Homo-oligomer: A and B are copies of this chain.
Amino acid sequence: MERMKPRTLSGFMELLPAPQTQFERMLESLRRTYSLYGFTPLDTPVIESAEILLAKGGGETEKQIYRFTKGDSDLALRFDLTVPLAKYVALHYADLTFPFRRYQIGKVYRGERAQRGRFREFYQCDIDVIGDGKLDISNEAEIPSIIYHAFTSMGLQRFKIRVNNRKILTGFYDMQGLGEQSGDIMRTVDKLDKIGAEKVKTLLIDSGVSEEAAAEILKFIAIVGSNQEVLTALEGYRGRNETFDQGLDELTTVVKYLSAFGVPEDHFAVDLTIARGLDYYTGTVYETVMLDHPEIGSICSGGRYDNLAEYYTDKKLPGVGISIGLTRLFYVLGEQGYLNDDLVTAPADVLILPMTEDLGPAIAFATQLRSADIRAQVYGEQKKFKQKMSYADKLKVPYVVFLGEDEISKGVVKVKDMVTGDQTEMTPDQAISAIGGKLAEMNGLTPIKEKAE
């Protein structure tokens, strides 16, 4: 018969078992963290009506979206989890309780030009808090504290959450008489990290900003220092614009609460260059950078918005949220050697090798192990001993248990620790407690392991 060469589309991540297991551990860790903070899990369709997804319109989105027809329906694959959330909240408004706190972990699709480290299918891991009409400022401090917990739980320590407030920027540009252009200016300023101050200034002047105003802008975004120093410098602008003053109040509150929420001072920084290139953020905005890999850009971004679902409802639904692009992050961590290879990635903790034809005793012991929450596999193939051991080696199972006539008649099992090579005869109960204890240690390991500096 004619055969087709198997392939996976480029831009689509497909992992081998060991890295897949590391990836699952991260998903599990994020689900756990998000749950601990009182977020409810949500799942929405990958396919939606195209007009629903594109209600807002917009250039890049329309170009990248996977859109197609089926029968009479004009359909598309979701390109983020925010638009589906907006639809969900507008549609189920009457059945939800506000503030509505949800997390959603799911795949989204963007037909970007394929390039190394860019994915067309990738996981987003989002949390959002949506208020009905109002939403307290404390939420804007809680969100980055959850992200802090999320990353540290996965084993990542060397990162910094950068915080800013759009009202401060809007207010500042109003002061300069540049209110109309503030959106464009912020997009330009957003490039500071990539292109440097001089180029930003040139771009600003090219776009019609006066030399003086451009100088003022560069002076403003050059304000750096400890969080307290930056806030103090900003106080110097107070009293000239209402929006600015409001933004400064908010930022001051967020900084205060961030400490209360337990985020260490060295893990967040007020950074006036952060604007997020999206028009819909209206207050606090966040980015997260890896200290040792600033070139990667933000690994977790988000912010406060005033109107989540304005395209679907006249209800005012302010919210705040943040998103981790896990597929890209995982790729980057792998590239940088940050994935913890000490993690057990074998499909089973214990591989039982029956040395008798009757699999009964092996199956019975496997059942006992599973009752003790230990992952067990009975190797049932008729193979030579050497091949069985080679299977255990390749899978990297931490323990192998031999069960032959001898052991069965003595009521014991022979346990081989595959790391140390030690072989010990024990009763089944002893084996379960010994293996269980060691596994508890191993399973305490985080999926990310930073390299020693």
Contacts and interface: CB of A to CB of B under 8 A. Distances in A.
Interface in A33-76: 35-49, 51-52, 55, 66-71, 73, 75
Contact of A9 (B48, B138, B139): B48
Interface stretch (A84-92, A175-183, A225-233): A84-92
A115 to B, nearest CB: 15
Contacts of A36: 370, 373-376
A3 to B, nearest CB: 6
A61 to B, nearest CB: 14
A246 B27 CA distance: 45
A121 to B, nearest CB: 5
A30 to B, nearest CB: 13
A41 B14 contact: no
A106 to B, nearest CB: 9
Interface centre among A17, A86, A109 (most CB of B within 10 A): A17
A382 B135 CA distance: 9
A249 interface: no
Contacts of A38: 347-348, 351, 375-377
Contacts of A49: 7, 9
Contact of A91 (B8, B15, B111, B395): B8
A364 B145 CA distance: 12
Contacts of A40: 17, 20-21, 346-347
A313 interface: yes
A134 B383 CA distance: 10
Interface of A: 1, 3-9, 12-17, 20-21, 23-24, 35-49, 51-52, 55, 66-71, 73, 75, 86-88, 90-92, 95-97, 99, 101-102, 107, 109, 111, 120-121, 131, 134-136, 138-139, 142, 149, 257, 260-262, 309-314, 346-348, 351, 359-360, 363-364, 367, 370, 373-378, 380-382, 391, 394-395
5 contacts: A6-B90, A9-B47, A16-B96, A67-B68, A260-B359
Given A17-B96, A36-B374, A138-B359, 15 more contacts: A1-B310, A9-B48, A13-B45, A20-B42, A37-B370, A38-B348, A38-B377, A40-B346, A47-B109, A47-B121, A66-B68, A134-B381, A138-B380, A142-B380, A257-B363
